[in-house]
A and B are shown apart, each in its own frame.
Chain A
Amino acid sequence: MDISSLINALQATPLSEAIRESDWLFPAIESAHVIAIVLVVGSITVVDLRLVGVASRNRSAEELITELLPITWTAFAVAVIAGSLLVIGKPQTYSQSPVFLSKMGLILLAGLNMVVFHRFVQPRLRHAPLGAAPPVAARASGLVSLALWIGVVALGRLIGFTTN
């Protein structure tokens, strides 16, 4: 089964039809998606601004990450579930939307940036004294993350203007 017949089969499911046909289901799922996204971006921004060195400077980055990461992951899980339901509603439309596909690309890049951060940068923060300027690598991780998530929000909003 190739990808396009898979998409067509998805489009023909009762769930897809229900989301597509209902007056309130799509905006309701979209509301949940927005709530989740703002919590993902809000909590990540707090950590990123700490990494860049402009906020929460009297808190250790390590502690801040431990405290806030559960919020980020919970909200991200809700965003993925709600987002998937939106895609299930209109799989043919989204799979052909360059804006949607670019948004998915940016999320992958943000994930990659996070893996690089946890693997290579975070271990070096563990022994950094409080109040010291963050290492360049930590600042770079924070800035790249901020830029990618701003892009994710912008493309996400643009999806609604370029598809119907």
Chain B
Amino acid sequence: MSDKTLDQADLGKIGMMRQVQPDYYVMRLKAVGGELNVLQLARIAEVAEKYGRGEVHLSTRQGVEIHYVHRDNLEAARLELADAGVEMGACGPRVRSIVACPGAETCRWGVIETKEMSRELDARYFKQETPSKFKIAVTGCSSNCTKANENDIGIRGAVEPRWVADSCTDCGLCISFCPLGSIARYDADDRQGVDHHYGIDEDTCINCTVCTSLCPTGAWSVGRQGYTVFIGGTLGRKPRFASVLKKIVESEDEVYELVDASIAWYRENGFKKERFGHTIDRIGLEKVKEEIFERAAQRA
């Protein structure tokens, strides 16, 4: 069977891509949230040795690829991998593997449980057809290790700081360590009966955890906590930094409602091969956000 008789689009749906070398393919494997257990790793090594060239490539999105697999061996390799619970990834115009950092499970700075969320997102959205490739990343805090802002949908752990007057010793440190310079000190505030108060510029605040975790007296405490949802990030030939869809989403259910609505909106409005972010630019961010929120409200 030659390359010409194999449907390349169908192979792309199951993570197999033709290489430059005739008759050889790349097998793209899925690692949800970047996780593979040792049994899966061992099987990947066996298959790479048996059907590839004894090596793997680690992708920028936490994937594992086996290169140099002959087209006649693709199905056998796929079945041997599947037997150990290794699933194929995805190529082409569809939702790709979900990437995630370790998050609150093991990271000191993690605000959210990223692994659990990445598994849920995988179950709900992986391989859904979209006008162009669609990438989702979950990141536990503002360190942004999985680069939420470069993905079509980025979900980042977020806290909303709240100033507690009784705990404040007016040391002023928060003004210095706020990465965005969002904190300011104000003189007498009769509302609270103190001679000073500290406030946050909500427009510039990125809901990171620096003030709430570093204030020596806990005067900056956590008010609301949840997720910042970003839309429309992309790299490639025309990079675009993601836009904030909603700064603090408190419930996980609402995150999924917004992701549902975003993907559904993109399917209806995106041109073929147009990335989500470029569709947003073409139509206008505020209009897009309004339509996504309307759609999410109808689905809730």
Please say whether chains A and B are actual partners in one complex. no
> Taking beta carbons and an 8 Å cutoff, which residues of B are in contact with A?
none
Q: Which A residues are within 8 Å of any B CB, using their own CB?
A: none
